[in-house]
Amino acid sequence: MSIAQHISTILSQLKSSSAKLIAVTKTRSIEELKSTYEAGILDFGENRVQEMVEKQSQLPPDIRWHQIGHLQTNKVKYIAPFVHLIHSVDSFKLLKEINAQGKKLGRIIPCLFQMYIAQEESKFGLDQNELLSILSSPEFAELQHIKIIGLMGMASFTENEAQIVAEFSSLHDIFIELQTNKTGYSTGLVEWKELSMGMSGDFLIAAKLGSTMVRVGSAIYGARS
Ligand SMILES: *Cc1c(COP(=O)(O)O)cnc(C)c1O
C-alpha cells in the first residue's frame, strides 16, 4: 500500500474519535514527507532537532512541525523560530529555556508536559508531583513566552492491552483533573486542551481513551531500519 492509502486507512479508523493524526516522519526521506503532505497531512512529528531543521527548510511553509522526542536545552534555539508544538517538556529547566528563546523571537511557543506513565525505566517524563511543583512555582507564573496546552505520554511497549489501557487511563485522569481543578497556579498561559497519546501499536486504544493527538510513524511508512 502507498503512504496515501495507509493514511486514509488510519484516518477512517480515527473518524469516531476526536484524535488528530500527527505523521511521525523521523528517519523518513524528503520524498516520503512530500507524499504525506500531498495526502493532506500538515502535522509532522520529529524527534531530532537537526533532522527537523533540515527538513523544514526543504518543505512547504504550512507544515506544522511537532517536536515529539526528548529535547536538550542547548538545542531549543534551533527550532524555536518555527516549531508548532513541543510535546516533550520534561523539566522546568527546559521550559525556562523555551520561554527565553520565545522571548528573543517575540513569540509564544506552545508546549505539552510529557508525563511518565509507563512501567519502563528508559522513558522520559514528569510524575504528578513534579508537574504540580512546576505549576505552583512563582517562577512559572512569570513565563510569558510559552503556553501550556496539555499533556503527552507514552505507554509501555507491551502486548498487554490491559496495561496499556491502565497507563493511558491514568494520563487521561490527570488531564481531566487539571481541567477541572485549576486552583493553586496561574492559569494565564495554561489551557488544558490537548492530550497527545498513542503510537502505531496503540493509537486505537489511545483514541478511545480521550487522545486528541496520535503520533503515528511505522503504521504509515513501515518499520524504521
Ligand atoms: C517514534 C515515535 C513515535 C512513533 O512511533 P511509531 O511506533 O513508529 O508509530 C511516537 N512518539 C514518539 C515520542 C516517538 O519517538
Complete DSSP assignment for 35-80? HHHHTT--EEEES-HHHHHHHHTTS-TT-EEEE-S---GGGHHHHT
CATH topology of domain 3-221: TIM Barrel (3.20.20)
Residue 199 Cα: closest atom of ligand 1: 9
Q: What is the pLDDT of residue 122?
A: 65
Residues with Cβ < 8 Å from 29, sequence gap 6 or more?
Answer: none
The answer to whether residues 150 and 212 touch, using CB atoms and an 8 Å cutoff, is yes
Residue nearest to atom 7 of ligand 1 (CA): 200
3 state DSSP class of 158? coil
Q: Ligand 1 pocket check: which of 32, 68, 116, 196 to mutate, most ligand atoms within 8 Å of Cβ?
A: 68
Q: What is the pLDDT of residue 201?
A: 96
3 state DSSP class of 198? coil
Average pLDDT over residues 157-162: 94
Residue nearest to atom 15 of ligand 1 (CA): 69
Q: What is the mean pLDDT of the chain?
A: 95
Ligand 1 centroid distance, CA of 68 (Å): 8
Average pLDDT over residues 160-184: 90
Ligand 1 centroid distance, CA of 137 (Å): 31
Phi/psi of residue 176, nearest 5 degrees: -65, -40
With b for 16 or more beta-carbon neighbours within 10 A and e for fewer, the 54-63 pattern comes to ebbeebeeeb
- C-alpha 63, offset from chain centre: 15
Q: What is the pLDDT of residue 182?
A: 66
Q: Is the pLDDT assigned to residue 128 strictly greater than 90?
A: yes
Neighbours of 127 (CB within 10 A): 12
Residue 218 Cα: closest atom of ligand 1: 8
Q: Which cell numbers in the block locate residue 222?
A: 513501515
Q: Is the pLDDT assigned to residue 121 strictly greater than 60?
A: yes
Q: Is the pLDDT assigned to residue 162 strictly greater than 90?
A: yes
Residues with Cβ < 8 Å from 146, sequence gap 6 or more?
Answer: 95, 98, 99, 102, 108, 109, 110, 111, 189
Q: Is the pLDDT assigned to residue 136 strictly greater than 70?
A: yes
Q: What is the pLDDT of residue 38?
A: 98
Average pLDDT over residues 134-139: 91
Q: What is the pLDDT of residue 224?
A: 86
Q: What is the pLDDT of residue 50?
A: 98
Q: Ligand 1 pocket check: which of 51, 124, 199, 211 to mutate, most ligand atoms within 8 Å of Cβ?
A: 199
pLDDT tens digits for 53-109?
999 999 999 999 999 999 999 999 999 999 999 999 999 999 999 999 999 999 999
Q: What is the pLDDT of residue 120?
A: 77
Q: At what angle do helices 30-38 and 3-14 cross, to 10 degrees?
A: 50
Q: What is the pLDDT of residue 118?
A: 87
pLDDT tens digits for 34-48?
999 999 999 999 999
Ligand 1 centroid distance, CA of 130 (Å): 24
Q: Is the pLDDT assigned to residue 183 strictly greater than 60?
A: no
Q: What is the pLDDT of residue 185?
A: 64
pLDDT bin (cut points 50, 70, 90) of residue 119 is confident
Reported pTM: 0.96
Residue 221 Cα: closest atom of ligand 1: 8
- Cα–Cα distance for residue pair 220/180, rounded to 1 Å: 36
How distant, in Å, are the alpha carbons of 20, 145, 166, 209 from that of 198?
11, 28, 13, 10
Q: Ligand 1 pocket check: which of 65, 66, 213, 215 to mutate, most ligand atoms within 8 Å of Cβ?
A: 215
Amino acid at 111: C
Share of the chain above pLDDT 70, in %: 96
Q: Which residues line ligand 1 (CB under 6 A)?
A: 24, 26, 47, 68-69, 199-201, 215-219
